[in-house]
Amino acid sequence: MNNTVGTLALGHYYDEDTIAAVIIGAGTNACYIERNEAITKCQCLLTNSGQTVVNVEWGSFRPPQIPLTPYDICFYNETTNYYDQGFEKMISGVYLGEIARLVFHKMAQESDVFGTDVDGLAIPFILSTPCLAAIREDDSLDLKEVGSILEEQLKIHNVPLKTRRLVQRVCDIITQRAARLAAAGIVAILQKLGRDGTLCGTTRVRSMTGVPKRSAIAIDGCLYQEYSVFREYLNEAVLEILGEEIAATVVLKVVEEGSGMGAALIAATYSSTRNNSI
């Protein structure tokens, strides 16, 4: 039982079409409901219902198909356990601000784009992901908020507008990549369950056959809930990958307090089942 499973439980309580849950906050993870016959490793531990919740722990996913950059924390030796949790370190809220800080630090080393007072850029994790989000979402003509964050958080003063636009662009790229990777993970679960319009593992063109199945994905976590640009990029990527026809059957639903309330639901269900069997 963890926060992802709790979110799945609460999502399924309100919507029986909920087949998976995703956490996108300080960290990231996913779980989904699998058919018992599709789980070959532990047949003796499976449930009587014919279904089992699989906790993916996708934060530790590190496929060779996903290219890493020199700015990814997986390559950054000063970070504790830097090689662990590769997927999480490209997506979640603990790390996105630090990726941006590493890019800015490299820019300062190779150019005078930030001027000479750039000591703050050498401090690990000085730039938080909420600051990155505020930079990206600044829609003022002079990017005043971007300038304020650079001054207050990084102690870089009098940054020209051209540089502020560059800073915002970097934050946009980091946000978009994170959101699209999370979307790819969600679609991978749909594919595993045969809910993406293909036969699992094949390259058939995605098209609807038969009666469409509605698939709800419960999502909790501050990054998805509170960072509107991230949420928009993720939703757009799911639509792009699945296509309009299949994407219309997939619902991404925010489930607040899923961790605690979902755990309470599971505990209550288990308690009720035990009492009825005595």
Contact, 252 vs 10, CB < 8 A?
no
Q: How far apart are CA 239 and CA 119, in angstroms?
A: 42
pLDDT of amino acid 74: 63
Residue 2 DSSP symbol: -
Residue 255 contacts residue 218 (beta carbons within 8 Å): yes
Residues 6+ apart with CB under 8 A from 152: none
Q: Which positions ≥6 away from 87 have C-beta within 8 Å?
A: 28, 58, 59, 60, 61, 62, 66, 181, 185
pLDDT string in tens for the chain (278-residue length): 899 999 999 999 999 999 999 999 999 999 999 988 888 876 666 667 788 999 999 998 877 788 888 898 765 555 555 557 889 999 999 999 999 999 999 999 999 999 988 999 999 999 999 999 999 999 999 999 999 999 999 999 999 999 999 999 999 999 999 999 999 999 999 999 988 876 544 445 455 555 668 999 999 999 999 999 999 999 999 999 999 989 999 999 999 888 889 889 888 888 876 655 54
